[in-house]
Amino acid sequence: MDVVSPELNSLLPDEIMDTEAIIMDDDPPSESPAASGQSQPSDDSPVPMETDVPAVPEIVSLCSDAPPTQLTQAGTTSTPTGSTLCNTTSATQLLLTSSTVSSSSLTLRPATASTLTSTTPKTTSSLSRVSLTSGGLQKLSAPFTLSANHQIILNKVASSPGADTARSQGTTTTTTTPGGQQFMVTTIGKSGQPIVLQLPHTGSKSASVQGLGEAKANPQHFKVVTVSSASQVSTLQAQQLKTVQIAKKTQVSSAGPIKFVFTKAVNNKGLTAQTSVSNVITGRVLSTSSPVTPPRTITLSETLGSSSSSKIAISPLKSPSKLTVVSVASQVPNSPQKSVSLPLNMAHLGHQILLQQSTATSPAKTMKPVQTVTVGGVGAPQFKTIFPLSTPSNVQQIQVPGSRFHYVRLVTATTGSSTGHASSPITNSSMTAKPMVVNTTQVRMSVPIVPAQTMKQVVPKPLTSSGQVLTTQTQQRLIMPATSLPQIQPNLTNLPPGTMLAPGSGNMGYAVLPAQYITQLQQSAYVTLASSSGFSTPTGIQTQARLPLNGLSTSGAAFRPRKPCNCTKSQCLKLYCDCFANGEFCQNCNCTNCFNNLEHETDRAKAIKACLDRNPEAFKPKIGKGKEGESDRRHSKGCNCKRSGCLKNYCECYEAKIMCSSTCKCVGCKNFEESPERKTLMHLADAAEVRVQQQTAAKTKLSSQISDLLTRTTPAITSGGGRMPYTFVTKEVAEVTCECLLEQAEQAELNQQPQATAERMILEEFGRCLMRIISSAGKTDCPSINC
DNA sequence: GAGTTTGAAACT
DNA sequence: CAGTTTCAAACTC
């Protein structure tokens, strides 16, 4: 998985990336009427876990309409299930299009930007309108299950007859709970996995209790739960929900930001051909996959039957307008990959979410390589591409206070490994979100339980059949572990650019992998930030922008082995440690008592949090990018050198090969343009570098010449029927030669020759033997040596 | 390789 | 915010 370039991130509209406007799906609605639409995440509020589900059951209203069916629920509606509400006054329109055909798409489309924030005072939470379209659109008639988690699950729905059956298997249902919560249920995929759209639950409050103020204060949540036909809505599923939220800043004072929360009840098993759908919108990510899809192409898919490492890159920089997330489809033997794209189009807001779903029935040729989420970019959209190494079983967005970015908790699903026939709901509350490897047959791993140092050994195979960018991840950066600890919520804005999320270990749900790390490892497979050229083009993904890392181009440093640290006291959890400061794991370092690894994610996360508390820009590159290139690069803080004259590597400016600037507080600085000392040092350094290069070139040339010589001579000898002379020195030849030499020795002895003469005779005979051997080479395979 | 110097980071 | 301490890298011998 590779990373999103910060340049692209910077292009994301603030209203999208501003996490202040993004509320965790599990965050309880604000009680304060004065609360605005923006969420106020607190450090004390725990990061929602998969198990965090509404405790209050809610009434669901079903609504189906002609295609494209638009289901709208008034917040005041407390109609029990079955009642159809089609209120067109919704502020937000969610259009879900599902189909078993690859061309199918799921579209989220807010009606207008303004309507996102406008809410009828009487409504509690649901002025949003949700439209569910399943191919040809069907009336909602499928049975659904209302779970205790405020989620409604429609079990598998039979495909609609007719020629359009293939595209109209989806079924949608909208339900409204007494608490004013709204659920949209649909089936996606041939197997009919239902999708549950859950509006924000109001806790124990009833719809009547919620007033306008609260409706304003609370963002609207939509939870989309996709459940395979064999899946059941249960606590277990709640734990495995993948949630994604997309918040829109409240423009006026009406409704809070609308959040689309897509949760997924992970199904188990890839043993059957049934499709397991996981939709993940981590603010900008939707991921679906089939357990039976082979990883031939880059897909937004996940293996539900096996827990696998998933990595999503979330750049802490300004978000790009478009984010593409691609998760590697799991490889299931003998199962052609079939994809169903479910675009979520939020055209009015410039938000577009493309959700791709892989089903078990469609051929791989229909596979769309990427899964995209477009957010905000009305103009030239930028793309973020995320390539999870393996399909995430669970993804949960994590709101970081003060952060403008979403973090995604990637939790490997604990799926039932043996049975794929779960036809009845499972209420296994004991299931946890802790990652575990279920399917060991696949080349996958559960990253959270694998130390970073060992990751290279368990790297999933890159999926490059279609020219995608996925490569093998050999290393990993972990900036922030996914922990439920509320206090460990750093300001993600200041994490290294292109931060990537990876599953954590233990209770850690994710790890953050900065972009530099990814680019450092050119062969890595985690995240690729596509340029604006387009998300679907592999080249565009490969030509990801590289950021300067402390003055050094990451591209240049990509192949440069990272310098190992030698930390002894800091546990590599302080910025003293370069590895930690660069957002990297310690790997092949000489540090002692190192905590900068996946095994100590909690401590590491705390340390990160502490660093960010001290300095919100602690993880930002110190060397800012200049306007016109390197000449304009400058240290963000400046140095404070006192004795080095800023002409030694003690000086960060000098180390970065930049000159000190007005921001520096150095004393006796000699690191300026006209400094003769600096020029001298530069010349010396250049000369030394030239020498090194020349030596390296000489070595390379020599090696090349030797290699060429070997490759040139060997085939000539072998192909020409001849063999190197030494190859004729077989055992027999050696014996004969020795006999010849002994014969000379005996003759010398018989003739009573002096020892010197005897030795000369022997040596001369040995020379003749060698000459015969050499001359015999190429003439015959069995040279005859006669004394 | 051991010891020293240095300045950023951390701490008070 | 300033002064001090800690720390690990850079440097010297």
Beta pairing, strands A128-133 & A92-97: parallel
pLDDT the model gives residue A130 = 38
For A186-217, what is each residue's pLDDT tens digit?
444 333 444 444 443 433 333 333 333 333 33
Classify the C-alpha dihedral A255-A256-A260-A261 as positive or negative.
Answer: negative
Q: Rounded to the nearest 5°, which phi and psi values hold at A192?
A: 75, 35
Contacts of A603 (CB under 8 A, 6+ apart): A571, A573, A595
Nucleotide showing the shortest C1' distance to residue A577 CA:
C8
pLDDT the model gives residue A726 = 66
Greater confidence (A250 vs A6) lies with: A6
pLDDT at A282 over 60: no
Nucleotide showing the shortest C1' distance to residue A640 CA:
B7
Q: From the CA of A321 to the C1' of C10: give the distance in Å.
A: 43
Greater confidence (A300 vs A514) lies with: A514
Q: From the CA of A649 to the C1' of C12: give the distance in Å.
A: 14
When pLDDT is cut at 50, 70 and 90, the band that residue A787 belongs to is low
Report which residue is nearest nucleotide C7 when distances run from CA to C1': A576
pLDDT the model gives residue A682 = 81
Beta pairing, strands A152-154 & A548-549: unpaired
When pLDDT is cut at 50, 70 and 90, the band that residue A657 belongs to is confident
* CA–CA distance, A205 with A12 (Å, rounded to integer): 36
Q: From the CA of A569 to the C1' of B3: give the distance in Å.
A: 19
pLDDT at A650 over 80: yes
* CA–CA distance, A520 with A471 (Å, rounded to integer): 13
For A478-502, what is each residue's pLDDT tens digit?
444 333 344 444 444 455 444 444 4
Numbers of helices and strands, H then E, in chain A: 14, 29
Q: From the CA of A106 to the C1' of B10: give the distance in Å.
A: 50
A564 by DSSP, 3-state: which? coil
Burial of A485 (0-12, 13-18, 19+ CB in 10 A): middle
pLDDT the model gives residue A626 = 55
Question: Strands, DSSP E only, in A331-390?
Answer: 338-346, 351-359, 371-374, 384-386
Q: Is the peptide bond before A68 cis (omega within 30 degrees of 0)?
A: yes
Residues touching nucleic chain B (CB < 7 Å): A 574-576, 581, 610-611, 614-615, 618, 622, 637, 639-646, 648, 650-652, 666
For A513-533, what is each residue's pLDDT tens digit?
544 444 444 333 333 333 333
* CA–CA distance, A432 with A266 (Å, rounded to integer): 12
Q: From the CA of A675 to the C1' of B6: give the distance in Å.
A: 21
Q: Which of A105-109, A229-233, A779-783 has the highest mean pLDDT?
A: A779-783
Greater confidence (A306 vs A643) lies with: A643
Report which residue is nearest nucleotide C9 when distances run from CA to C1': A650
Nucleotide showing the shortest C1' distance to residue A644 CA:
B6
For A701-722, what is each residue's pLDDT tens digit?
888 888 877 776 555 444 445 5
Which pair of tokens denotes residue A595? 């905590």
* CA–CA distance, A353 with A105 (Å, rounded to integer): 9
Evaluate whether A298 touches A370 at the Cβ level (below 8 Å).
yes
pLDDT the model gives residue A375 = 36
Nucleotide showing the shortest C1' distance to residue A570 CA:
C7
Nucleotide showing the shortest C1' distance to residue A637 CA:
B8
Evaluate whether A203 touches A227 at the Cβ level (below 8 Å).
no
Please give, one letter per residue, the 3-state secondary structure of A144-187.
EEECCCCCEEECCCCCCCCHHHHHCCCCEEEEECCCCCEEEEEE
pLDDT the model gives residue A580 = 92
When pLDDT is cut at 50, 70 and 90, the band that residue A680 belongs to is confident
For A304-316, what is each residue's pLDDT tens digit?
333 333 333 333 3
Quote the mean pLDDT of chain A.
50
Q: From the CA of A591 to the C1' of C8: give the distance in Å.
A: 10
When pLDDT is cut at 50, 70 and 90, the band that residue A674 belongs to is confident
Please list, residue by residue across A25-38, b when 16 or more beta carbons sit within 10 angstroms of its beta carbon and e when fewer do. Answer: bbbbbbeeeebbbb
Q: From the CA of A612 to the C1' of B12: give the distance in Å.
A: 19
Q: From the CA of A98 to the C1' of B6: give the distance in Å.
A: 63
Return the C-alpha torsion angle A237, A257, A127, A241, nearest 10: -10
Segment (H or E) for A103:
none
CA A558 from chain centre, in angstroms, equals 18
Classify the C-alpha dihedral A21-A39-A240-A340 as positive or negative.
Answer: negative
Nucleotide showing the shortest C1' distance to residue A622 CA:
B8
Please list, residue by residue across A430-467, b when 16 or more beta carbons sit within 10 angstroms of its beta carbon and e when fewer do. Answer: ebbbbbbbbbeebebbbbbbbebbebbebbbbbbbbee
CA angle A168/A174/A179 to nearest 5° reads 165
Nucleotide showing the shortest C1' distance to residue A592 CA:
C8
Summarize the confidence of residues A423-446 as an average pLDDT.
36
**Chain B bases near protein CB atoms (7 A cut-off):** 5-11
CA angle A181/A98/A199 to nearest 5° reads 10
Q: Which of A51-60, A457-466, A688-697, A762-771 has the highest mean pLDDT?
A: A762-771
Return the C-alpha torsion angle A660, A664, A667, A672, nearest 10: 10
Classify the C-alpha dihedral A126-A131-A132-A138 as positive or negative.
Answer: positive
Phi-psi label, residue A550: left if phi above 0, alpha if psi -120 to 50, beta otherwise? left
For A229-278, what is each residue's pLDDT tens digit?
333 333 333 333 333 333 333 333 333 333 333 333 333 333 333 333 33
Percent of chain A that is helix, strand, coil (3-state, to 5): 25, 15, 60
CA distances from A590 to A453, A570, A577 (A): 13, 13, 11
- Residue A112, CB half-sphere, CA atoms under 13 Å: how many? 7
Residues touching nucleic chain C (CB < 7 Å): A 563, 565-572, 574, 576-578, 648-650, 655
A412 by DSSP, 3-state: which? coil
For A326-368, what is each residue's pLDDT tens digit?
333 333 334 333 333 333 333 333 333 333 333 333 333 334 3
Report which residue type is found at A755: Q
When pLDDT is cut at 50, 70 and 90, the band that residue A784 belongs to is low
Nucleotide showing the shortest C1' distance to residue A591 CA:
C8
Which pair of tokens denotes residue A437? 């490897």
pLDDT the model gives residue A731 = 82
Q: From the CA of A574 to the C1' of C7: give the distance in Å.
A: 9
Q: From the CA of A572 to the C1' of C7: give the distance in Å.
A: 11
Q: From the CA of A569 to the C1' of B4: give the distance in Å.
A: 19
For A371-406, what is each residue's pLDDT tens digit?
333 333 333 333 333 333 333 334 443 333 333 333
For A544-572, what is each residue's pLDDT tens digit?
333 333 333 333 334 456 789 999 999 99
Report which residue is nearest nucleotide B11 when distances run from CA to C1': A614
CA distances from A694 to A333, A688, A700, A706 (A): 52, 10, 10, 18
Report which residue type is found at A768: R
pLDDT at A647 over 80: yes
Length of chain A (residues)? 787
* CA–CA distance, A602 with A484 (Å, rounded to integer): 9
* CA–CA distance, A344 with A1 (Å, rounded to integer): 23
Classify the C-alpha dihedral A128-A134-A139-A143 as positive or negative.
Answer: negative
Evaluate whether A480 touches A605 at the Cβ level (below 8 Å).
yes
Q: Could you give the percent of chain A with pLDDT greater than 70?
A: 24
